A and B are shown apart, each in its own frame.
Chain A
Amino acid sequence: MIKLESVHIEEVRGIKSLDLDFHQSTFAISGPNGSGKSGVIDAIEFALTGQISRLMGRGTKGLSVAEHGPHVDKVKFPDASFVRVKVLLTDLGKSVTITRKLKAPAKPVVEPTDAKIQSALAEVAAHPEVALSRREILRFILVEPAKRSEEIQTILKLDDIGQVRGALNGAQNKLLTAHKTAIAQVKSNRDSLLVHLQLPSLKAEVVLAAVNQRRELLGLAVLTELTSDTKLDDGLTTAATGEAFNKQSVLRDLKSASDAVHGAKDAAKVECAEILLDIEKLKVDPELLAAVQRRTFIEKGLQLVDGPECPLCDHAWKSEAMLRAHLDAKLAKSKEAQKIQSALMANAGVVSQSALRIASIVANMQRLGTALLGTELSQSLTKWKADLDSLRSGLSSVEGIIGSRARLEAGWPSVPAVMAKQLDAMTKKINAMPDQTSTVDAQTFLTTAQLRLADYREAMRKEKASEIAAAAAKLAYDAYCHALETELNTLYDEVQKDFSKFYRLVNDDDEAGFTAKLTPDEGSLGLDVNFYDRGLFPPAAYHSEGHQDGMGVCLYLALMKRLFGKRFTLALLDDVVMSVDSGHRYQFCKLLKTEFPETQFIITTHDRLWAEQMKSAGLVTGKTSVAFHSWTIDSGPMVESNVEIWQEIDKALAKGNVEAAAGALRRHLEFVSTHLADQLGATVSFRADAGYELGDLLPAVLRRTKELYGKAAESAQSWGNTSAKTVCASRKDSLAALNGAAGVEQWAVNKAVHYNQWANFGKKDFAPVVTAFKSLVTHFQCDACQGFLYVSPRGRPETLRCPCSIVNMNLASKPKAT
């Protein structure tokens, strides 16, 4: 798979122009709501897959990548909107640049490129699930089991497997139907041969006796055995036959036809009645009828699905898999419709086989030819045969069965009104013919017998072949289902283990015994979780929303691990980490670092504190994080960095815009103070509304830092570490000096001053304030990694350090000897 090296975004979503360098590492993007963070995720997702999840799928009707992907000011100039992303293809060890324009999402320009690179990128493009937004994570947790199954099947690409199973099942059903038809054809041909031979069975000796009786009369060699290539009329020349029909045989065929005509009204009567009852049920229950029609429609639609667009309404789904899962779920819901559909098809099959039997009798008659039968009977037979074939065709689908209602009510055989009379007339005509000589009778008996035997043998050959094919299809389908079930059970077992493990890692303080159970059952996937050893319950039963969110992230990670294994190298988490409550964020960072060391996470969060905590936890660094402090429609996201915030303030001052500079400084100091208070464990007067102000925080941070420096000095003293003691003293002095220069007590504590009045300063008055506070803030940062100082472990700190450990002050004194 891939890792991101850098991205250039131009006129996409809310971004005008932006460059970010990811260093192939986990990267954090923080900023308030509406600052453009998600636009970055959208742009990366678009560059990799040609899709933007937020503009597709449920709840996005009327939205499209083409129309709503470009910056709002470039909608009419989509050519100007593009994303260029540089990625490392980890499997190939090659870096490539992908440039994808909003105007042509399906035609990215890749440089360099070759077949292997194209194949690797196609694999990436097929996995839009690398992008996960907060609104999506709950789809794993707070959904009904059938829906969860859909979602998880989609993410695991189980749809592809479902398609194979569906195709194998389709093959099995069609071959089974073909086999049934072949059996019916064999029976029909066998009956036809028996009627002609006037025998009760087709035992070889009995057939040979009947045939040899004629052959001896004709002076032909007696047949001693009946093998698969024995010809009953062997030795008989065409010229010798003279007449083309055997009078007695024709009379028997006519009788068979007459019997069929007279018995037609009772053929498959029960099944026909049941079909009519079912159709009546559908008539009085329009919803059931609609469900049955929908099933047929959906089944047909599923066959036509060829991409993420609905074949009926062209609505673009997030993926073809989502569309298929949606249609499959609809099919699964209409159980009653499925029952009636099965009954209709089964009964129609019996009627169809009866129609085939009559059609075979008619076909035998047709073979006698117009010369013997006369034009009228010949035409009637042709019409009837076509009519029966048409009926059989209609009975092969539910729609056709319902459409044949009138025909079924009137009597499905629909014997032509004149047929009985015509057959009677023909019988009389044949009877009136002079009897054939025994020679001609024997000759035509043999030729007709051979014809019918050949038909019978061919039907048996086809039946045997169709039996083998149907058996093979059934065996294959069963084997595939078995393999599928085995693998899925293993998969769900692994996913539930990983999910539980990840959740325990994040919540090790209060849910160390957490377990979960995934229960697959006929297209649904139940999820139950342990609630403090009180039993297994649905996630929404007792767990808080925050915990449910955390479960969503953990389940996502478990699924991705199972889907990609070690090739899970990239995930775009859009405000997803907010799902983890503040008490468990460090553990979440630990989870990502320890369980997914090879995965590059691009993480956005609207909580700047959280972004800094990611730095403290070593998940990201100053180089691999960026903060957006605001956004405008003309500028896009405004990037704030430790370097750039001061540049921004200086720039504003240079323009004489003290108000803007003061605003930026105040914002930055509020953020730094909050962060440091948290990182250093400063004691702040409690506020129930959590509305801490700069005046509450910064002095507390200074006191705490002074205290920590004191502890570090004591520790150094106890260990006899003179140089460390000197560093502590130096930092303590430096802090005191910077505090004095900045006038923290004056600016920060005085609320009236805090809320105001910097903005009313002149440029020259305010510049020294900026310089002083910049120096003070810089004091809390490491020169090398730019990270802010923090204590570790939290609660009972033993060190005061920066993320890269260049600043690392021991707080633990040497134990005194007892």
Chain B
Amino acid sequence: MATLQQQIADKFLTRLAESKEISAEKIEKLKLALSANKKPKAEDYIKIFSEPDHGELK
């Protein structure tokens, strides 16, 4: 059985994917961050949201 945390994470990522306002690359990074076995930090998410997507002009 999926844990509650996992269920919430799955629903969260699905909702983001459906919104199409956040790139698949960022969603994948968020997925990795959520499954990482460490405490979530605001800085980790700031980095994900602030980084230009691969191939995008900097």
B49 to A480, Cβ gap below 8 A? no
- CB nearest neighbor in B for A122: B37
Query: In the bound complex, what is the Cα–Cα distance between A566 and B42 (angstroms)?
Result: 34
B8 at the interface (CB under 8 A from A): yes
- CB nearest neighbor in A for B52: A465
A194–chain B nearest beta-carbon distance, Å: 27
Stretch from A11-19, A469-477, A766-774 that touches the partner: A469-477
Give the residues from 159 to 204 in chain A that come closer than 8 angstroms, CB to CB, to chain B: 160-161, 163-164, 166-171, 174-175
Pick the contact of A158 from B4, B39, B45 — CB < 8 Å?
B4
Query: In the bound complex, what is the Cα–Cα distance between A145 and B33 (angstroms)?
Result: 32
B22 at the interface (CB under 8 A from A): yes
B20–chain A nearest beta-carbon distance, Å: 11
Query: In the bound complex, what is the Cα–Cα distance between A169 and B7 (angstroms)?
Result: 20
Across-interface contacts of A564 in B (CB, < 8 A): 1
Q: Mark A480-508, 1 if CB is under 8 A from B, else 0.
A: 10111011000100000000000000000
Q: Mark A623-652, 1 if CB is under 8 A from B, else 0.
A: 000000000000000000000000000000
B15 to A472, Cβ gap below 8 A? no
- What DSSP secondary structure best describes chain B's contact surface? helix
A479-B12, A483-B12 known; A170+B4 contact, CB < 8 A: no
Across-interface contacts of B40 in A (CB, < 8 A): 163-164, 166-168
Query: In the bound complex, what is the Cα–Cα distance between A562 and B51 (angstroms)?
Result: 38
A623–chain B nearest beta-carbon distance, Å: 31
Query: In the bound complex, what is the Cα–Cα distance between A632 and B23 (angstroms)?
Result: 68
A161 to B52, Cβ gap below 8 A? no
Query: In the bound complex, what is the Cα–Cα distance between A170 and B40 (angstroms)?
Result: 11
User: Which bucket holds chain B's interface residue count?
Assistant: 20 to 34
Pick the contact of A465 from B34, B42, B50 — CB < 8 Å?
B50
A285 at the interface (CB under 8 A from B): no
Across-interface contacts of B19 in A (CB, < 8 A): 475, 479
B41 at the interface (CB under 8 A from A): yes
B39 to A469, Cβ gap below 8 A? no
Give the residues from 32 to 58 in chain B that come closer than 8 angstroms, CB to CB, to chain A: 34, 39-46, 49-50, 52
Query: In the bound complex, what is the Cα–Cα distance between A547 and B49 (angstroms)?
Result: 52
Most A CB contacts (10 A, CB to CB) among B4, B7, B34, B43 go to B4
User: Which bucket holds chain A's interface residue count?
Assistant: 35 or more
A156 to B4, Cβ gap below 8 A? yes
A473 to B7, Cβ gap below 8 A? no
Query: In the bound complex, what is the Cα–Cα distance between A484 and B7 (angstroms)?
Result: 9
A472-B22, A565-B1 known; A168+B15 contact, CB < 8 A: no
A157 to B4, Cβ gap below 8 A? yes
A457 at the interface (CB under 8 A from B): no
A175 to B46, Cβ gap below 8 A? yes
Give the residues from 558 to 599 in chain A that come closer than 8 angstroms, CB to CB, to chain B: 562-567
Give the residues from 2 to 23 in chain B that come closer than 8 angstroms, CB to CB, to chain A: 3-5, 7-9, 11-12, 15-16, 19, 21-22
Query: In the bound complex, what is the Cα–Cα distance between A473 and B16 (angstroms)?
Result: 11
A306 at the interface (CB under 8 A from B): yes
A306 to B39, Cβ gap below 8 A? yes
A769–chain B nearest beta-carbon distance, Å: 58
A308–chain B nearest beta-carbon distance, Å: 13
Across-interface contacts of A469 in B (CB, < 8 A): 46, 49-50
Query: In the bound complex, what is the Cα–Cα distance between A472 and B21 (angstroms)?
Result: 7
Across-interface contacts of B50 in A (CB, < 8 A): 175, 465-466, 469
Pick the contact of A171 from B1, B8, B21, B46 — CB < 8 Å?
B46
Query: In the bound complex, what is the Cα–Cα distance between A432 and B38 (angstroms)?
Result: 66
20 contacts between A and B (CB under 8 A): A157-B5, A161-B4, A161-B8, A164-B40, A166-B40, A166-B42, A167-B41, A167-B44, A168-B45, A171-B43, A175-B49, A175-B50, A466-B50, A469-B49, A469-B50, A473-B45, A473-B46, A482-B12, A483-B11, A563-B4
